[in-house]
Chain A
Amino acid sequence: KQEVTQIPAALSVPEGENLVLNCSFTDSAIYNLQWFRQDPGKGLTSLLLIQSSQREQTSGRLNASLDKSSGRSTLYIAASQPGDSATYLCAVTDGGADGLTFGKGTHLIIQP
């Protein structure tokens, strides 16, 4: 059974810092990995999708990497801003009909 772990559970940093969020998964037979952002009480916003054959994806100040063999992904946020404050969730799928398996998320606070 796939399990996803995210470290740290919470993070508070001053504005302008670069930061890294970590995600690990136990079964390396994944089809893809997605990073999401969730604001309090809201739905999930897809940030980046990495296919299993890819090593990284970039969107603006965000960069996600994938090391499938070691079961790890990182989300790098450059020049953090207060508007980046949210919970960041990592999820994997094997491409079948079993849906996404999520971690519990990293609660990020960017201090102005």
Chain B
Amino acid sequence: ETGVTQSPTHLIKTRGQQVTLRCSSQSGHNTVSWYQQALGQGPQFIFQYYREEENGRGNFPPRFSGLQFPNYSSELNVNALELDDSALYLCASSSRINEQFFGPGTRLTVL
């Protein structure tokens, strides 16, 4: 059974640019959630996708958007990057009992 994978591992961008992060869910999981974790903080929920539709969103602006594909993999897109977007971005896929399994994360640095 393959776990949750994310790419890339690290990314450096400049303010105003756009970025796309990718996630492959664990086999058999059809729900994917994205989280942002600033240094020293707990992860913050960005949004959740179920069967290719966004069905839940945290307190993040519209420049954070996503997609889920028929194979349940997902993308997180962030437009007009700001310095405060620097964080570890985590993807999680959910089992039937809503246990969440996380990937290794993508470290985004915005200069």
User: Chain A interface (Cβ within 8 Å of chain B)?
Assistant: 4, 31-32, 34, 36, 41-46, 49, 51, 89, 91, 93, 95-105
Residues of chain B touching chain A, judged by Cβ–Cβ distance below 8 Å, are: 4, 6, 33, 35, 40-48, 50, 55-56, 58, 88, 90, 92, 97-105, 107
Show 20 A/B contacts (Cβ-Cβ < 8 Å), sorted by A.
A34-B99, A34-B100, A41-B105, A41-B107, A44-B90, A45-B102, A46-B101, A49-B97, A91-B42, A97-B50, A98-B45, A98-B48, A98-B56, A98-B58, A99-B45, A99-B46, A99-B56, A100-B100, A104-B40, A105-B42
Contact present for A49 and B99 (CB under 8 Å): yes
Which residue of the partner chain A has the closest CB to B91?
Answer: A43
> A4, B42: Cβ atoms under 8 Å?
yes
Contacts of A89 in B (CB 8 A): 42-43
Partner of B98, one of A32, A36, A42: A32
Number of A-B contacts (CB under 8 A): 71
Q: Which of A4, A34, A99, A103 contacts B33 (CB 8 A)?
A: A99
List chain A residues, Cβ under 8 A from B40: 104
Known contacts A32-B98, A97-B48, A103 near B42 by CB under 8 Å: yes
Complex alpha-carbon distance, A96 and B58, angstroms: 12
Asked if A46 meets B90 with Cβ closer than 8 Å, knowing A89-B42, A97-B50, A101-B45, the reply is no
Contact check, B56 vs A42: say whether CB atoms are below 8 A apart: no
Provide the residues of chain A in CB contact with B56, threshold 8 Å.
Answer: 96-99
A104 CB, nearest partner CB in chain B, Å: 5
Residues of chain B contacted by A103 (CB below 8 angstroms) = 42
Chain A: which residue is nearest B31 at the CB level?
Answer: A97
Contacts of B102 in A (CB 8 A): 36, 43-46
Q: How far is the CB of B108 from chain A (nearest CB, A)?
A: 13
* Contact assessment for B99 and A42 in the assembled complex, using a CB-CB cutoff below 8 Å: no
